[in-house]
A and B are shown apart, each in its own frame.
With several copies, the nearest count.
Chain A
Amino acid sequence: MTPAAGPPAVAPLAPRSWSPLIIASEYCKGCDLCVAACPKGVLVLDGTAVNRLGYHPVRLTDPAGCTSCAFCARVCPDAVFIVLAAPKGALRR
């Protein structure tokens, strides 16, 4: 019932360690909708992990392939994603 503290503040990152998605895996219910929505096919449910809720959470397979289009975030019922746009020159890890 307390208001959301919001996602962790996004700190400046060194170009090399940068990823376009921050995934709050513990919220993920493995519904697969983001996987279906991603035009780049860079999301997958991680069959090897189980989160607190008992689901296989989503995983970004290829940060470099992600265009930050945020389709995944728009379809996600559990608001799992923070999507960042690439700072110029950043390498997607």
Chain B
Amino acid sequence: MSTTPATAVPRVVYRRPELLTERSTHYCPGCGHGVVHRLVAEVLGELGLGPRTIAVAPVGCAVFAYDYLALDFVEAPHGRAPAVATGIRRVRPDAFVLTYQGDGDLAAIGTAEIVHAAARGERITAVFVNNGIYGMTGGQMAPTTLLGQRTTSSPAGREAASAGYPLHITEMLALLPGVAYAARGSLVDPAWIGRTKAFLKRACEAQLEGTGFAIVEVLASCPVGWAMTPRDSLAFLRERMMAEFPPGLLIDRGRSAVSDRPED
């Protein structure tokens, strides 16, 4: 690169991605959804997929994703995004199909739909935001809530004896031959955010390669649901969530080796 003269245009290191609309989000301060939206907008933008993407919005705090991402959107009933996406997928072979779901949406009420979309190997890229809680409805226990974690529906902390164990649904899905790609990212710090973006990119590529179903679970914080400051929620994310749900690549059936390094 040539040396820049003093009057040159400064190089843009980072800018708000084009696929984000101008609207301010309704998310609470520090909410992970905002970061995931941004990553999705960046990845789709970089791959040039915006104009042919049909996205499916969940029921959960991200129900308004269509207000923030400049994409065609269909709103699915709670948990049914993978079925809705299957319908889209089948009649629109050329579209890029993206689902966005929370942990209650995907891992509780929508268990059957996600398992079977994955088993069928639908060419769908699923973004799964695991914040270990039902954010939208006021902080109740989710299937991914940690043992001992207090929520409005586990006021004494989640007990295995009555409420069972945190569900590792992405690991379950990774068993299925229809799943081309499965990974778990985290929003705990810039490095993991970068890695998560790389996972998302690879999950989009898997769809483009036609190798099957792709899912990226993103460990995200819900400061309000966890009743913490955003800063404290990052500590909880690192020490507790990431201990229970180790992030990293789970499977990449499309490629022998996967590029798992942080993006930069």
The chain A residues found within 8 Å of chain B, CB to CB, are: 1-7, 10-15, 18, 20, 24, 26-27, 29-33, 36-37, 53, 55, 68, 70-71, 73-79, 81-90
Contact = CB atoms under 8 A, between A and B. Distances in A.
Contacts of A55: 29
Nearest to A24: B16
B33 A82 contact: no
28 contacts: A2-B70, A3-B19, A4-B16, A5-B22, A6-B15, A6-B18, A18-B10, A27-B24, A29-B29, A32-B30, A32-B231, A37-B189, A53-B24, A70-B13, A71-B190, A74-B190, A77-B29, A78-B34, A79-B20, A82-B14, A82-B15, A83-B14, A84-B10, A84-B13, A85-B10, A86-B10, A88-B6, A90-B10
B157 interface: no
Contacts of B29: 29-32, 55, 77
A43 B210 CA distance: 44
B67 interface: yes
Interface in B1-59: 3-22, 24-25, 27-35, 38
Given A10-B9, A32-B30, A32-B230, 19 more contacts: A2-B21, A3-B19, A4-B18, A4-B70, A15-B7, A18-B10, A20-B10, A55-B29, A76-B34, A77-B29, A77-B38, A78-B34, A79-B17, A82-B14, A85-B11, A87-B5, A87-B8, A88-B8, A90-B6
The 7 A-B pairs with the shortest beta carbon distances in the complex, nearest first, are A77-B34, A31-B30, A31-B29, A3-B70, A29-B29, A84-B10, A73-B14
B34 A87 contact: no
A1 to B, nearest CB: 7
Contacts of B14: 70, 73-74, 81-83
Contacts of B24: 26-27, 53, 78
Nearest to A5: B22
